Amino acid sequence: MNIEEFITELQKLNINLSETQISMLITYKNMLQEYNQKFNLTSLIKDEDIYLKHFYDSLTLTKALDLTQNLKVLDIGTGAGFPGLVLKIVFPNLDLTLVESNNKKISFLNAVITKLELTNIKTLNTRAENLPSSYREYFDLITSRAVSHLRILAELSLPFLKVSGLFIPMKGNATPELQESETTLTVLNAKVLDIITFKLPFELSNRSLIKITKLAKTPNVYPRSYDKIIKKILK
């Protein structure tokens, strides 16, 4: 996918980029390629892969909800900024928090944020289970792309989501993970509202957006420590 194809495909998602946003995304792409020579940020570094598998893929979140709203958004395990930083460029109205445990990736994210002069955005160099208690029941939307099994990700995310907020993990084929996560979601007072499936253009790989809502506050014992989340499935 080249830049022209990227712009055209986004229009099919009802996203019309301004010249400024196009310029910002190109700068982001160039910085990703530059920094990747020093740090291992991503294995997908060709222009066509960045536009399709990083930028376009991130923006498919608009299939699940209206991102023109003033939402407090948390992106867990954002890596080099996907989907969160891409969403912020295209939807500057979002109040965005990016969580990433890798210090080099945080340094890259901060460099891009400074270069693009983005506001109302913060980075946290920590693990999701170590987020401050002030963030409990705080976010309107929590998302994550290609991070952890759903049952693990749910326990890391849902304590920080507002009641009636949306948790939307971005996955490939979600069916096996969903079946293995039903009990976890029930214990954490959440339920699946919808599963939006589609294929990426050109490459035609499978994608799923799992739309989950929170029905009531999460018990204070969650999230557990990461080793307990891994070893003991909620029942």
Query: Looking at residue 202, which CATH number applies to its domain?
Result: 3.40.50.150
pLDDT value of residue 234: 86
What is the domain count for the chain?
1
pLDDT value of residue 212: 98
Residue 218 lies in a domain: yes
Q: What is the pTM of this model?
A: 0.95
Residue 15 lies in a domain: no
Residue 105 lies in a domain: yes
Does 146 score more than 80 pLDDT? no
Element spanning 25, H or E: helix 19-36
Strands 139-145 and 72-76: parallel
Residues whose CB is less than 8 angstroms from the CB of residue 9 and which lie 6 or more positions away in sequence, other chains included: 1, 56, 201
Residue 155 lies in a domain: yes
pLDDT value of residue 233: 87
144 falls in which pLDDT band (50, 70, 90)?
very high
**Phi then psi for 95, rounded to 5 degrees?**
-95, 105
Residue 216 lies in a domain: yes
Helix (H, G, I), strand (E, B) or coil at 196: strand
Residue 194 lies in a domain: yes
Does 65 score more than 90 pLDDT? yes
- Residues of the domain holding 221: 67-231
> What is the rounded distance in angstroms from the CA atom of residue 17 to the CA atom of residue 11?
8
Is residue 49 within 8 A of residue 61, CB to CB? The reply is no
Residue 154 lies in a domain: yes
Residue 35 lies in a domain: no
